Amino acid sequence: MIRLVKHIFNKSSSGFTMIELTIVILVMAIFGTLTAEILSNATKIYSESLKRQQFISEARSSFFKISRELSWQKHFRGFKQCSEKNIYINTGDGNLIAYEIRNSNDILNSNSQLNTELLSKKIDYNNSSFSFYKSDYTAVDLQNQGHEVMVINLNLSYVDNDLTINLNSDISPYGLSLGKAMSYHE
């Protein structure tokens, strides 16, 4: 009996067999490959969501900047120069702010206080525009009825690869809400 126990003990303490080592190495390789694949996919998803978030942030930031500054329009004279792709904002303190939607799919911002800057490089030229309306929301002919503008519709479409964001807002500049200034106010 002692020999049998000694024989069993010696056999089990001799180490791993080649088959056992091969199986362990294969299992570790499979788990390592799966872990690397999962980490690679997670990194890719994170990178794509970060790019998407940056795109959304750029679109919102530029749209809200234009919306805010459109509300500063103080005088109707600036509208005669405006078009579907250009807008000029005459602020109360004499500054002129201009936005131009260019066919190079970007939007340019000019300010009499600052240099010209590229506001966004992701504008869809064909689907972005400025529109001008009376208080009853009928379109205004800027050359003949510029003094009747009460609402400016800002419609900007942003595109980045397969992502598209359409932002649209009606802005009623607080300087224009009372109507055309009388001659003794100018």
Mean pLDDT of the 34-61 span: 94
75 within 8 A of 181, measured Cβ to Cβ: yes
pLDDT in tens, 94-130: 788 899 999 999 999 998 877 788 889 999 999 999 9
DSSP 8-class letter at 71? T
Q: What is the pTM of this model?
A: 0.73
d(CA 71, CA 173): 4
Amino acid (one-letter) located at 73: Q
d(CA 176, CA 186): 14
133 within 8 A of 151, measured Cβ to Cβ: yes
Nearest partner of 133 among 77, 183, 79, judged by Cα:
79
pLDDT in tens, 152-181: 999 999 999 889 999 999 988 876 655 555
d(CA 84, CA 42): 43
Neighbours of 104 (CB within 10 A): 11
- What is the pLDDT at residue 178? 55
Beta-sheet pairing, 106-111 with 86-90? unpaired
Structure tokens at 173: 């500049």
d(CA 141, CA 74): 19
DSSP for 64-120, written as a single string: HHHHHHHTT---GGGGGG--SSEEEEE-TTS-EEEEEEETTTEEEEEESSS--EEEE
Beta-sheet pairing, 151-160 with 163-171? antiparallel
